[in-house]
Each structure stands twice: as C-alpha cells, then as structure tokens.
Structure 1
C-alpha cells in the first residue's frame, strides 16, 4: 500500500503523517531517489500549512440502522463525514476510501457536511409507522468537531429530536457540546438525552499527538462537570485502550467520576483496513523505540493479526492482554461506583414532528 509522506513541518495539529493511498486506488506511487538528490530536496521543502476544506452533500437518509450484536444501539446518526480532530486510531478513517479520498490526511482535512440532515431526519421521524428507538449521535465521526461551531448541523438535529420528544445519546471529545446545553438539559430532565465524553488519557502531551484537534483532557473534565451540574446524565468513554500508549485508565476513570460521570465504557484499539499502516507510521514517528512492542500486543489481542472483525471480539479483543484490560476496567468501576445504574431513556412520549408540508387545521 502506497504512502505519500508529508514533511512534519506541515503537520502541526494533524494526526496522520501521510496521504495514504486508499484501497480502491488504481495508481499508487512511492517516493524514490533517482540519484540526483531530488527526494531529499522534496522532503526539505516547507509546504504551506494544510488547510481544512468543507464540502457539502445532500443526504438521502439521516438514520443508519445496524444489527451488530456487539453494539448497544440499533440506530445512529452522523452529521459529518471525516473528522478534523484527526485521531490517528479512528476506525472510521477507511470510510473516506468510498469517497475516493485518502483515509490519512484527507480524512481530517477534506470534510463532508450533510447540510440537509435535519430536514431529512424530520421526514423520517414523521413517516407513518415509524417506531422510535434511542438514536446514537456521533458514533463514527465527532458531531461537535470544530466545523460544528459555524454549521450547527448537530444543533439542528437536536432541535428536531426535541420537537419529536425522541430519545438520543451523543458521544464527543469536544467541549463545544456545552453550547447546546439550553437544548440538551431540558430534554435530559425528561429522560430524553444523555451525553458521553471520551477521555483517552489525562496526559496532555500524548493527547496532543494522538487526538490533535480535540479538546484538551482537562477541558473535557470541565465539560463533564458542566453537563452534570445542568442535570444531564454523563458517561465517560475511555476508548480506545492502546497497550503501552494509554496507560492511565484508572486515573481517567477516577477524574471523570469526581467530575460527575456516573457510567463508563471502553474498547481496545481497532485497526481495520488502512488504519493499520497509518497507526504503524504514527508509532514510528512518535514512539519508534516501542512501536514493535505495541503492535505485538495489539496482534496478541487480535489472534495474531492487526485486526479481527469478529463480532465476539472486535470491541474488546481476546487473550491474556485483553483480559487484563477488562479486569482493570471492571475493578476501577467497582471501586468508583461507576455503572451501578443504567441511564434509561424513555420513548413513550414520542410524537411525530411536523413534516414541513401542509399544516393541520385541528
């Protein structure tokens, strides 16, 4: 698989160090030294800082359905494709391949915004025979990534769900969710909303290279506190767990509990398709001395491979190392009193929203 490497000077605030050719590419090119020092000259060039570009699309549907036995929800919604947070481990990176874009830098710089998602969602909820079930928002890409500040697509989705009294949960690494507390808090009081904040590590230096454009760890803790004080049920996601990289799970859980979180969950790192070579390259750039050790432990949890998509093990892994992570998580949760009660949202008050067409006389 070909990788076009980008000089590190251009990568401040970016997770990937390359525009990895996606798996459907017909042409793949590798850098090559022709003996005239052209490769060294190319690498010495200092290109302009990579800029984020937003492209708009009209979505045909808003709600995605799944029947995967290892996922605790069957309905999800994502206002954006690609994610500016640039998390190097993101399992959604390979979806950019279907757009003929690189899962590497394109995933975090070439973003797709579903500009009509609120209107499409309204139509879907208003269909005769629609049966509500909790919708998970931001399961693939972060629904509060930086472009949400201006586009407000997530806010428009919450407005529709609120009008319909439809239950939802959202997961984010961003403090921008606080902006929408005026919508989320009243819905939470009616058992219609819950929020989950992802905190992978408390190590600010690590977070800066692992999740370069997400909120700092201490800021995410402040967000948990702000949501809790507003009466919103808050959980913490300590995902993904990466052997020899994210080593402070217990400290994250304790800090989140002290900030107000009442539930927690985790997954182990997943490296499907193009994520594996991207993650290997990230290790070589930032942790060259431990890269082989990290990958060996990941493969130990995946039956000797970089990734195993088996439903029974893909989220938590298998083997001794996966069992150790599970025991650490469960022990910490018991000690801290996390996950003692489930956050149960109601769907009994659902009412179809106005479809936007001709109104009713009575």
Structure 2
C-alpha cells in the first residue's frame, strides 16, 4: 500500500497524500511522544512522505518531534514547515510577522529544531498586514538562493495576494482549509492557483475530524482547540451532523468510510479544477493512516461528487472565529 507521487507547482514532487503534523501536538489533548513517533514512521513506511509542520505547533515541539524521524529518514521525506504566526492562536493570540529579519530568524530556528540543513517547502503561515507580500516573498526567495529552502508556499492567501507573490518568485503550493464543508476557496483562490500553475494543499480535509463521523460534543475535551471554532459550538455541532450523515450515505454506496470519501472528493475536485491537490489529514493512530491512504482507491461518480457538493449548504457556523484570519475574510 503506497501513495503514488504527484507534482505540485515549481516541480515539487511529493506523495499524493500528506500528513498534517499538528495532530501530534496537545491541541486535541495529550499525546504520547512514543506513539507520535510510531505514527510518523508508519506514515513514511506506507508511502505518506510529505510531512507538514510549523514553528508554532507546540511552540516548536512538533518540529523537534519530526527531527527524531528525520535523523534516519530525511532522504525519504518531503518536509514542509511554516513561519509567520506569533503568539498562541489556540489561546486567541493571533500575531503575525512577515518582515525580512523575522523570515531569516524563523528559518534558522526551524532548521535547528528539525536537525536538517534545508526545508523542501517553506510556507508563509499567515499574511502580515504590515508587510507587503512582495517583501516577504523576496526575503523567502533569498533562502532558496542560500540553499536553506527548496520551494516556497503560502497559506490562506487570497487570489490577488497569490498573484502578487508569484510575480516575485515561483510558488509551489497554497495551503488553505478546503473540504466538503469548507469550500469558499473555490470561488477565487483555487482557480487562480490552477491558472498560475500552483499546487494546492488542503489542511483540515476531514473537518478537524468531524467529517469522519467520530466527533461529537462529548468527545471534545475542555482543552481541545476545536472549542474555538464556531462549527463546534453548542449551537452548531448537532446541526452539522446532517453533513456527516450525507457523506456516510455516499460512503455506504461505494463501500468506503466517511473519511475516505471526504479525501476522495478533494482528489476529484482537484481534477475538476485542473490542479494538483495533496491533502494533509492528521491523525494519532496508525490504522487511520492506512484508512486515509486507501482513499486513493476510492472512485466517485459525477453524481456522487455533485451530491457531496451540496453538503456545504447544510453547514452551520463559519470556519474561523476571525474572518480576516482566512482568505475569504479578505476577498
């Protein structure tokens, strides 16, 4: 069982499915480091070699965790990390910096924590409203010239911001939330990425676990980051079960799980829009990685894709508590 390779923008080749490292931090409750390492190793073993992290995940501890895997397996991994967010977003502290000094400071700190001399894909995690994106990307491009970074990426940018960035340096990928219940990026950002030859990396492709059908109000602990998202509050979470039920109907029809159908839907949407899509679901459990990889064998009919397309209309609550924090809030 392997995930076949796919090429994003700027000739960056990765596995067709990635792994979101944020799941291996305490944002969803406590996690055992030994279990987290075993999960990462298993992902690579089955061909999920595109590993995504960020300097803000666990205050840098996620990069340090991944370093333990890279020590012996760096050549097998396409490594992505991010910079730009300051503070602790999980606690409502959403600062951003994109100035040249901070760009250079962050890459050196990340490389040290990761125990490597280069990052395959380096993202601007959020746009700094006080620094023109052209200046931030120019500073990031210096890192490519110096060999510290191989490719550049942007997270949660608008179509206009993406165009401005591409004019400075090739962009390999845009990472934004995109899933059956979060489709706002399809209005402008996804078409712009397709036009410009930029790949797309959907984060939270399973709706932070909700689209799998395994998450209820009772399973979310008091220290879970999902408590900060409107879709998980008391007024929305029960309503949103209708979306999960609709996904499960399709899953039953094709003999797959709701998670597999959700990931297969994104693969089909990438084909519809004409751009490479590499989802990065996160998990703490090895068998969930196997389940996610098996989504690559799930084929959906045009009618089933259309049925899944309608689910966004059932969803209650915005995808972010702060509109400007995501691209749709600035479009």
**TM-score, reference length from structure 2:** 0.40
Q: Which has the larger radius of gyration?
A: 1
